[in-house]
Amino acid sequence: MTRRFFFIIACVFLFTFSLFSPAQAVDDLESGAALVVELMDLLHEYHLNNPDATVLTEGAIQGLLDSLEDPYADYFSDEEFKGFTDALNGDLVGVGIEVVPGEQYPQVLSVIPGTPAEKSGIKAGDVIRAVDGQSISGWSLDDAVSKIRGTAGSKVILTIMRGNDIFSISLLRADIHVPSVRHEMLPGNTGYIHLAAFSSTSSQEFNDALHKLRAAGMESLILDLRNNGGGYLDGAVGILGNFVAEDTLAVSILDGQGHREEIRTLEPATADAPPMVVLVNKYSASASELLAGALRDYKIATLVGDVTYGKGVVQTILPLSSGGALKLTVSKYLTPAGNDIDQVGLIPDHYVLTTELQREVAWQILHPEEVPDIVLEPGTGRAVLNGRALGNILKIEKQDNSYALPLRPVLEAMLYQVFWQDGLIIVFSGQQEVWRNRPIVGKRSDRSDVFVQDGISYLSENLLKQLNIDIVKEENKITLTRKI
């Protein structure tokens, strides 16, 4: 089942376009096809419901696909196939927002510049509560996206929650082209490239962004593959080619008969690979996993974030005489080191589950000389990490003169990794376990280092000291600094 849903771009996965010549049919296949045709004729002629031929045809197609138990197999009509390829290449109708699932409502992940959403003032972090006055509480993200979508020029009203404010915005849907690559230079000469999908132009767009960053003095790089569901195989291989030698193994592909094909880079690297971190999460799939896995196999990059989707199979698009197409799984792929990640995913080198912190932690890993510090404003939820605002992600609990701080975001900001296991909270520094305990649930006590309240884990000031984190309390702020 698809796990990444976006308003601005459909979820697409790794495949290659191929034109297949019809193979010589065998007797069993001919007999089977004749039987299906005979059954359709009989159903059309005799069934009480007098089914339409189109309905029978679509039912037969779906039955064939269901028999494969292949979650990625699909049939596209001519119109659907055009929509599929347009979406892959970033040509869509919408308002220009990228959304991800929230606890109850979808949340805006990003806003595309120059789109109706940006012009109307929608911001990343906004929560969409209703569409055209209808609450979408508890809806699947797929259903919510379908409700938001429509035809170019038509109006849609989104009810937005931003902090404690709730308001409605009227937008006109429009034709939108979403570039697959955007880039910027972060402090410390750290380049940042976000790759939304592997479209037909992604490799060239990536090369252009990389060239501009290098010309501007880039010394390290963060490659953001979060929420990237895949796309063209050639795009991933082309991007890898920027960092490895010509004719380097990018991926091995195994078909159903056990035949192995090695796909290698075609161009020499444009320059030595800089120190690099790749951001991934549970919506990074297919070609994203291929690229991230290869960069790690060749010890070029460190992976930061969450375990990836785990889609290590390849689809091929087979054009049909009707003008439509058939998408089928035809092979599986292995990373250059021979790892099969299907239904497993890539395990990050450094876990960071607080989304708002992932890019900051990646930056910190690339700048180990900088001591991580975070400034908190009690009562507001605002926080600043290494001089950069994080937004309202930290709720601080106060009891007498002591503060309790949200455990995961605070420790992740301090470069610790936090895991839950059988009711225990386990904290790692690098690969070394440094603390574990079972939290008190529901009520804080003076002796508890960790307690859980309203589903959030809090840590005490005492635990900060155990983990070599200094705390300085002033009237309107708290400063935390990790001693490394």
Q: Dump pLDDT digits (tens) for 410-421.
A: 999 999 999 999
Strands 424-429, 432-437: parallel, antiparallel or unpaired by DSSP? antiparallel
pLDDT at 400: 64
Q: How far is CA 79 from each of CA 72, 86, 192, 222, rounded to the nearest angstrom?
A: 19, 11, 37, 38
Phi, psi dihedral angles at 222 (to 5 degrees): -110, 120
Supply the mean pLDDT for the chain: 86
Q: Which two tokens stand for residue 303?
A: 């992976």
181-316+334-351: CATH homologous superfamily? 2-enoyl-CoA Hydratase; Chain A, domain 1 (3.90.226.10)
Lowest average pLDDT, out of 269-278, 311-320, 361-370, 442-451, goes to 442-451
pLDDT at 27: 57
- Catalytic, 286? Answer yes
Lowest average pLDDT, out of 20-24, 90-94, 259-263, 320-324, goes to 20-24
Calpha distance 212→444 (Å, rounded): 52
287-296, 307-316, 327-336, 388-397: which is most confident: 287-296
pLDDT at 429: 95
Other beta carbons within 10 Å of 139? 17
Of 70, 86, 132, 297, catalytic: 297
CA geometry: angle at 414 spanning 381 and 435, to 5°? 110
Indicate whether 468 pLDDT > 50.
yes
pLDDT at 19: 36
Q: What percent of the chain has pLDDT over 70?
A: 92
Indicate whether 34 pLDDT > 60.
yes
Q: Dump pLDDT digits (tens) for 470-479.
A: 999 887 888 9
Q: Dump pLDDT digits (tens) for 301-325.
A: 999 999 999 999 988 889 988 888 9
**Range 382-396 average pLDDT:** 79
Indicate whether 129 pLDDT > 90.
yes
pLDDT at 480: 92
Higher pLDDT, 394 or 128: 128
Q: Which two tokens stand for residue 282?
A: 């549970």
**Range 256-277 average pLDDT:** 90
Q: What is the pTM of this model?
A: 0.82
Q: Which two tokens stand for residue 416?
A: 């610790």
Q: How far is CA 141 from each of CA 74, 91, 162, 307, rounded to the nearest angstrom?
A: 20, 20, 19, 21
Indicate whether 294 pLDDT > 80.
yes
pLDDT at 32: 85
pLDDT at 469: 94
Higher pLDDT, 398 or 80: 80
Instruction: Tell me whether residue 175 is exposed, middle or buried, using C-beta atoms within 10 angstroms of its C-beta: 0 to 12, 13 to 18, 19 or more.
Output: exposed
Residues 6+ apart with CB under 8 A from 328: 68, 70, 72, 73, 315, 316, 318
Phi, psi dihedral angles at 434 (to 5 degrees): -120, -15
Element (H, E) at 379: none
Of 180, 311, 449, 460, catalytic: 311
**Range 317-346 average pLDDT:** 92
Label residue 447 by pLDDT band (50, 70, 90): low
* Contact of 84 with 76, CB cutoff 8 Å: yes
Q: Which two tokens stand for residue 212?
A: 């501009």
* Contact of 7 with 101, CB cutoff 8 Å: no
Indicate whether 24 pLDDT > 70.
no
Indicate whether 426 pLDDT > 60.
yes
14-23, 216-225, 308-317, 452-461: which is most confident: 216-225
Q: Which two tokens stand for residue 412?
A: 């992740």
Phi, psi dihedral angles at 86 (to 5 degrees): -65, -45
DSSP characters for 469-481? EEEEE-SS-EEEE
pLDDT at 473: 87
Label residue 443 by pLDDT band (50, 70, 90): low
pLDDT at 346: 98
Dihedral sign from CA coordinates of 346, 89, 250, 213: negative
Of 180, 202, 203, 286, catalytic: 286
DSSP characters for 320-347? -TTS-EEEEEEEEEE-TT----TTT-PP
Lowest average pLDDT, out of 19-23, 44-48, 228-232, 393-397, goes to 19-23
Other beta carbons within 10 Å of 423? 8
pLDDT at 181: 93
Q: Where are the domains of the chain?
A: 91-177, 181-316+334-351, 371-482
Q: Which two tokens stand for residue 163?
A: 């902090």
Assigned CATH for 91-177:
2.30.42.10
Q: What is the greatest pairwise CA distance in the chain?
A: 84
Cα of 370 vs its chain's centroid, Å: 28
- Catalytic, 311? Answer yes
CA dihedral 87, 90, 91, 97 (to 10 degrees): 90
pLDDT at 293: 97
pLDDT at 20: 43
Lowest average pLDDT, out of 139-153, 195-209, 219-233, 281-295, goes to 139-153
Label residue 96 by pLDDT band (50, 70, 90): confident
pLDDT at 409: 92
Calpha distance 425→411 (Å, rounded): 12
